[in-house]
Amino acid sequence: MNLVTLGIDIAKASFQVALLRHGKLRHHTFPNTDAGFAQLQTWLAKHSGEPLHACMEATAAYGDQLALFLHQAGHAVSIVNPLRIKGYAQSQLQRNKTDKLDATVIARFCLTQKPEIWTPSAPEIRHLQALMRRLQALAEMRQQESNRLEQAEQQPVIGESLKKIIATLDAEMARLRQLIKDHIDRHPHLKRDHELLLSIPGIGETTATWLLSEVQVQTYGSARQLAAHAGLTPRHHESGRRVGGRTPLSKTGNARLRRAMYLPAVVAKRYNPLIKAFCERLSQRGKRPMEIIGAAMRKLLHIVYGVLKSGKAFDPSFVS
């Protein structure tokens, strides 16, 4: 049993750590930079001197480089859904909230709950993920500028400015799309998996690329685990007289992956024979339209898992 855990409360500019070693706590704050990582390594060598289990919340991308640094230094690392930490803190009746207390709670959570160990993606996957997330950010910026353009009809000067920005964004998005295509073409396994995903009715170029960047099937033991990671599992709530009714999605998982599956599921509901038959059965059972879409998203992700895991293209005659 590893009695040394490191709780990390991560922020954009800095991170607070709580080192829990044989029941004793030490705290320190470091800048969230390469220099701060080196300072952390020196501090750990002084106060621990042995491999430990580090744990942090999955918050944006602020902790990605630190997690990779600790992993490469030989430490076990866990990146945990913030809701688990929040629930644990509530179970401990924690009434106050500071960075120092949060780091302590994470360290104790790591010691008692032993969360699963995180394994970093391969470098080519991390690069693809960075490209896709940058493309998404630019697409959101473009949508914002397009919305403003619609409201600038009476202000020609503002309209011209907005058009220039939109044209610049379009050019940069086109450049990124070409970089993404070239990156996939340079890596045979990415190109193979991309072609496998495109064999699934409902999955297009953009969705296939998102799946490549967000899904590494070898890290999941089953399709259900992948669906849970995406927050696409149903959340049942039956208590006392409350039985039946609407069953929403859990939505406790990878929001990017969940968002990427929505439109493909709508298309697959019409054109993918397996999804179409599945949705028709749900409709006959009286399920609501949005419940059916949610189920289609989950079913489609199961098919994605099966295709990538088996290395075989989609077979419409397959019967599960």
- Rounded CA separation 194/207 (Å): 10
- Rounded CA separation 184/201 (Å): 21
- Predicted model pTM: 0.84
Question: Which residue type does 268 have?
Answer: A
pLDDT for position 247:
66
pLDDT for position 320:
47
Q: Yes or no: say if 115 and 58 are a contact pair by the CB < 8 Å rule.
A: no
Tens digits of residue pLDDT in 277-318? 999 999 999 999 999 999 999 999 999 999 999 999 998 876
For residue 73, the tally of other CB atoms under 10 A from its CB is: 16
Write the burial class of residue 17 (CB in 10 Å: 0-12 exposed, 13-18 middle, 19+ buried). Answer: buried
Tens digits of residue pLDDT in 160-218? 999 999 999 999 999 999 999 999 999 999 999 999 999 999 999 999 999 999 988 88
Task: Write down which residue in 82, 113, 144 finishes a domain.
Answer: 113
Residues 75 and 192 in one domain: no
Give the least confident one: 220-224, 234-238, 305-309, 312-316.
Answer: 234-238
Per-residue tokens: 100: 């120092």
> What's the pLDDT band for 59 if we cut at 50, 70, 90?
confident
> What's the pLDDT band for 239 if we cut at 50, 70, 90?
low
Domain of residue 234, residue span: 188-320
- Rounded CA separation 163/158 (Å): 9
Arithmetic mean of pLDDT, 32-37? 96
Residues 313 and 242 in one domain: yes
Residues 194 and 320 in one domain: yes
- Rounded CA separation 224/144 (Å): 36
Residues 75 and 156 in one domain: no
Residues 203 and 314 in one domain: yes
